[in-house]
Amino acid sequence: MSDFDTIAAIATPVGEAGLAVIRVSGRQAIEVVGACFKTGTELNTADSHTLHYGHIEQDGKRVDEVMVALMLAPKTFTREDVVEITCHGGMLTTRLVLEATLASGARLAEPGEFTKRAFLNGRLDLAQAEAVADLIHSRTELALDAANEQLAGRLSRRIEELREDLLKTLAHVEAHIDFPDEDIAPDTMSQLIGRLEKGVAFMDELLKTAREGQILRRGIRAAIVGRPNAGKSSLLNQLLGHERAIVSTIAGTTRDTIEETANIRGLPVIFVDTAGLRETGDEIEQEGIRRSHEAWRNAELILHVLDNSKALTEEDERYLNQFADSPRLLVRNKIDLEAHLDLGDQAAESLGACCTNGQGIEELKGAIKDKVWSGQITSENLQLMINSRHQDALRRAREATIKTIHALKQDLTLELAAMDLHIAVNAVGEIVGKTSTEDLLDKVFSQFCIGK
């Protein structure tokens, strides 16, 4: 795509820092930077992958002292000429250096445009491009591992194998459509159906990873609920490993929801500490309780905290029944005190903890992981963690493939089988970008930050 215009953007987070990087990519990248970069070296004659010292100037005025990295196509992230300017990380300095490149002929990059060019120029497929965003947003090492596996092309290779099998079957079917006098031999038909059934089984395998993939990418929401002074805020602090919520013996201290993300056995879990559930005449506390109800309705897991040193109240029993059909864990807090809590048949599903000394917290973390993640976390299943876009494409491909199998088994017209098989091939191709529309690409890359 050599006719692309030249783009520039700040590639580091906005704010004050020691250093900042402005990335420039495109056919005129060297000329754009050369017009505002004053140094003893001519960039247009310099070797690729070299570093140069100098100053950025605009309108004859020195802006900053910088280092410029020169990288020539095709051995760059975008497979275009790329120049990266490392300047001092002040907000004003960074903005002025960027403005100097824009004044020299570059255009401000759109969100994800550098990665989009890497895709369009064949350096990455679409699944790998999405992995770049996953890599940036990873909040745990497991999420990072999964993103790296996808970026390395593990998922893409398996998808390509699936697409190739579908294409081979489609070619065979269309060949017989072109020569209608020749029926497909029974053993050949059996092979075609077997290949398609193998593809459906693989799609089922991938679809099973969708929930886990979403957990790694966006985390899971866990609401910490219970009546006042049960120890909800103390539990949040223990799970986070630092003091985040105010802890007090005064009932009703927590008036609003507090959200924090913690790494629980490699999984990002967004804990939501809520106001104590009780009847109250305080308008502010009533609003907090309303938000508590909203939090647990939107949660994918509920940690129901109960005071092990006190007997059940009617409110406790009401909420025990209310949360019974939701994914939940019962936490008996204050097990260091004399026990007066009787959960009856529900005692077996509860876990004891002491949020003042940390007793039982590690066991609770293990129970949280087991509740939201099915099976073991292995390098093999990290390689195939699909996202919601992949899930939608695979569902459409699976449905079309099953229709094709039915048409072949029932000896229906081959045109029907070919039509459904075309749908399956195109849907699978969407995952890696072999079949894509501008709307699809815009949707994928708009989720990236500017500068990536």
CB 36, CB 100: distance < 8 Å = yes
Residue 225 has pLDDT above 80, yes or no: yes
Residues in the chain: 452
pLDDT for position 293: 67
Residues 406-420: what's their mean pLDDT? 90
Rg over alpha carbons for the chain, rounded to the nearest Å, is 29
CA 135 to chain centre: 8
* Mean pLDDT of all residues belonging to the chain: 86
Element (H, E) at 351: strand 350-352
Q: State the angle between helix axes of 210-218 and 141-151 in degrees (0 to 180), rounded to the nearest 10.
A: 120
Residues 96-123: what's their mean pLDDT? 95
Domains, the chain, with CATH or none: 7-109 (3.30.1360.120), 128-209+384-445 (1.20.120.430), 219-372 (3.40.50.300)
Percent of the chain with pLDDT over 70: 88
Write the pLDDT tens digit of every residue in 287-328.
556 666 676 677 888 899 988 888 888 878 888 887 888 888
Residues 227-247: what's their mean pLDDT? 75
pLDDT for position 286: 55
DSSP for 61-73 reads: EEEEEEEEEEE-T
pTM beyond 0.85: the answer is: no
Q: Which residues have a Cβ under 8 Å from the Cβ of 316 and sit 6 or more positions away?
A: 227, 306
Residue 251 has pLDDT above 50, yes or no: no
The residue that leads in pLDDT, 296 or 38, is: 38
Q: Which of 198-202, 239-243, 362-366, 438-442 bottoms out in mean pLDDT, i.e. has the lowest?
A: 239-243
pLDDT for position 275: 64
Question: In whole angstroms, what is the distance from residue 200 CA to residue 123 CA?
Answer: 29
Report residue 14's pLDDT band, with 50, 70 and 90 as the boundaries: confident
DSSP for 276-288 reads: -------HHHHHH
Write the pLDDT tens digit of every residue in 121-165.
999 999 999 999 888 888 888 888 888 888 989 999 999 999 999
Residue 377 has pLDDT above 70, yes or no: no
The residue that leads in pLDDT, 341 or 363, is: 363
